[in-house]
Chains A and B, each alone.
Chain A
């Protein structure tokens, strides 16, 4: 199955229900993300962008309103359905990275790639080289700097086929140079797959050309 569009219909985190929230392009509105297009979701801290990512990834359901995949309500999706979506349709870089600190950088990447069998060893090597962490690939992830961990997690998120790649503050700890390289790699991959990009930011944004910017 190909995931062509993701629609957030009147979505609102439950914790916000009793609060008055400022005008938003997403909360309480109808927002649609289309495959092949790139979106920047800008928010202030605490605006709920990580919540939005978790909702779209099926990791949380504490929201009002509806989440539609290709127009189908996701509220009835079971675990198996979500696991399939996570392997084939939606790549996700969570803000807290969710690396396994006891595994090396390369092992963390392989843990995902072993599941999908998607990227070749040489491709992974190339990404590690370009992002400047090839020399640290055998270090436990827990020993790497946050910036290095962020780059490992970016590579890991690319180790699968996807219709959308969702990046939650992907470059918050990267310098401009690495930001540019990460943007290049992600764009290349998304373009090759005809996938959509959803990137969030509270300031430091991933340097790609966005088709649309939304405010939370």
Chain B
């Protein structure tokens, strides 16, 4: 009479089990959790994703100048306008080189000739623009870029140019819109050939070159060409007069050193850099921080709603749990409906929140890209969401297990 075939009516038994355990489940509370958790997560994930996308505007790797290289110049005052030079004298440079925090000093070389650049904008529309330019150069060791991209040999190749990112921004949002020219992304701009015309100061000698934008810098407010190019063309087109540099690039031991700022302040020197970028980046951080904090509070509260509803259901079903365990049901099967809820409810909310964050991203991304953001991928939100949800799930599953164990011996 002993029937050895396993579970001849276990199917019905599973239904009975879930009927008993689902008693006292409140759809309203679960919905409350879903809505609030979705809301909280959507805010947190949306903000984090926005931060990660927008941050590239300011923190885009300025690979052309290392952070421990300071570009310094004298403060320009009205005295400079009326004759007093803002250049560095050899004595001043020598004094700077003697400072203990200085590793080396590089001099900016200014072009001693006139430059006229022409570029065709808007593929095939025939529109072009031309402008007077200026060039500067610094010794190659201060330009931290792939040397193969930053090479120029006399009589061969195009002239690589690094321009300030601000110039592109000025063009896109100042000039292009008012002049009816198309806006250009960094990538597009780099692909457009520059026709450079170099003329000597007296207009007797002229040379033509092809050039291209090799990169953009936040820290160098200039238009940079290779030092070798500058040296040769200054010799060939220049007036021959030696000029003191007005800007220096200084390799320092530690950029945060107080001695540096004291020295610079005492001599009325300025450090060129991404100050505006830094403050905008700071503002972005603060705004993101506040938004994430609000979202985090909502997420945390929603998480407690889930925890409390699970506790409440299990508390109400404590007798049922105890009796099932007394019958010989194992803790795992008894906990299953609650574990499922603890796993699937946060996953559901995460899915909805990610959809929301993705939609939000789709709406702001074009605007950000217009501002020059290097739109990364949709990673920040899913990664953060996965971590938060995983923690919530682990915590809930553990607390469900603990509750079941509490009903084990009463």
| Chain A interface residues (CB < 8 Å from chain B) | 57, 59-61, 79-80, 83, 86-87, 92, 94, 98, 100, 102-103, 107, 110-121, 123, 160-161, 192
B residues near A80, Cβ cutoff 8 Å? 330
A118 touches B13 (CB 8 A): no
Known pairs A98-B326, A120-B8; A103 contacts B409 (CB<8 A): no
Q: How far apart are the CA atoms of A192 and B2 in the complex, in Å?
A: 10
Q: How far apart are the CA atoms of A111 and B8 in the complex, in Å?
A: 12
Known pairs A119-B3, A192-B1; A114 contacts B10 (CB<8 A): yes
22 contacts between A and B (CB under 8 A): A57-B326, A59-B326, A59-B409, A80-B330, A86-B326, A86-B328, A94-B326, A98-B326, A100-B320, A102-B23, A103-B20, A110-B12, A110-B16, A111-B17, A114-B9, A114-B16, A117-B7, A117-B9, A117-B10, A119-B1, A123-B1, A192-B2
Q: Closest approach, in angstroms, between the C-beta of A162 and any C-beta of chain B?
A: 11
B23 touches A86 (CB 8 A): no
A residues near B12, Cβ cutoff 8 Å? 110, 114
- Interface: B405 (CB within 8 A): yes
A115 touches B1 (CB 8 A): no
Q: Closest approach, in angstroms, between the C-beta of B338 and any C-beta of chain A?
A: 17
Cross-interface CB contact of B328 among A83, A103, A192, cutoff 8 Å: A83
- Interface: B277 (CB within 8 A): no
B2 touches A161 (CB 8 A): yes
Cross-interface CB contact of B409 among A60, A83, A87, A112, cutoff 8 Å: A60
Q: Closest residue of chain A to B20, judged by CB?
A: A100
Q: How far apart are the CA atoms of A87 and B329 in the complex, in Å?
A: 8
Known pairs A60-B409, A61-B409, A100-B20; A113 contacts B9 (CB<8 A): yes
B9 touches A121 (CB 8 A): yes
B7 touches A114 (CB 8 A): yes
Q: How far apart are the CA atoms of A116 and B329 in the complex, in Å?
A: 10
A residues near B178, Cβ cutoff 8 Å? none
Q: Identify the interface centre among B6, B326, B328, B409: most chain A CB within 10 Å of its CB.
A: B328
Q: Closest approach, in angstroms, between the C-beta of A192 and any C-beta of chain B?
A: 7
Q: How far apart are the CA atoms of A113 and B5 in the complex, in Å?
A: 12
B residues near A102, Cβ cutoff 8 Å? 20, 23
Q: How far apart are the CA atoms of A98 and B327 in the complex, in Å?
A: 9
Cross-interface CB contact of A103 among B2, B4, B10, B16, cutoff 8 Å: B16
Q: Closest residue of chain A to B12, judged by CB?
A: A110
Q: Closest residue of chain B to A159, judged by CB?
A: B327
Q: Closest approach, in angstroms, between the C-beta of A214 and any C-beta of chain B?
A: 24
Q: How far apart are the CA atoms of A80 and B9 in the complex, in Å?
A: 23
Q: How many residues of B contact A (CB 8 A)?
A: 31
Across the A-B interface, how many residue pairs have beta carbons closer than 8 Å? 82
Interface string of B264-282 (1 = CB under 8 A from A): 0000000000000000000
A residues near B2, Cβ cutoff 8 Å? 118, 161, 192
A residues near B1, Cβ cutoff 8 Å? 119-120, 123, 192
Known pairs A83-B330, A102-B23; A111 contacts B16 (CB<8 A): yes
Q: How far apart are the CA atoms of A59 and B410 in the complex, in Å?
A: 8
Known pairs A79-B408, A107-B16, A114-B10; A100 contacts B328 (CB<8 A): no
Q: How far apart are the CA atoms of A123 and B408 in the complex, in Å?
A: 31
Q: How far apart are the CA atoms of A9 and B23 in the complex, in Å?
A: 42
A112 touches B327 (CB 8 A): yes
Q: Closest residue of chain B to A58, judged by CB?
A: B409
Q: How far apart are the CA atoms of A123 and B3 in the complex, in Å?
A: 10
Interface string of B84-125 (1 = CB under 8 A from A): 000000000000000000000000000000000000000000
Q: Closest approach, in angstroms, between the C-beta of A142 and any C-beta of chain B?
A: 13
- Interface: B14 (CB within 8 A): yes
Q: Closest residue of chain B to A117, judged by CB?
A: B7
A residues near B326, Cβ cutoff 8 Å? 57, 59, 86, 92, 94, 98
Q: Closest residue of chain A to B23, judged by CB?
A: A102
Cross-interface CB contact of A115 among B4, B13, B320, cutoff 8 Å: B13
Known pairs A60-B409, A192-B1; A83 contacts B325 (CB<8 A): yes
Q: How far apart are the CA atoms of A103 and B18 in the complex, in Å?
A: 12
B325 touches A100 (CB 8 A): no
Cross-interface CB contact of B6 among A57, A61, A117, A160, cutoff 8 Å: A117
Q: Closest approach, in angstroms, between the C-beta of B25 and any C-beta of chain A?
A: 14
Q: Closest approach, in angstroms, between the C-beta of B88 and any C-beta of chain A?
A: 80
Q: Identify the interface centre among A103, A110, A123, A160: most chain B CB within 10 Å of its CB.
A: A110
Q: How far apart are the CA atoms of A83 and B329 in the complex, in Å?
A: 7
A residues near B3, Cβ cutoff 8 Å? 117-120
- Interface: B184 (CB within 8 A): no
Q: How far apart are the CA atoms of A80 and B405 in the complex, in Å?
A: 11
- Interface: B301 (CB within 8 A): no
Q: Identify the interface centre among A111, A120, A161: most chain B CB within 10 Å of its CB.
A: A111
Q: Closest residue of chain B to A122, judged by CB?
A: B1
B residues near A79, Cβ cutoff 8 Å? 330-331, 405, 408
10 further interface pairs, Cβ-Cβ under 8 Å (given A111-B327, A114-B9, A114-B10): A79-B330, A83-B331, A94-B326, A100-B20, A103-B20, A115-B327, A115-B328, A117-B9, A121-B9, A123-B1
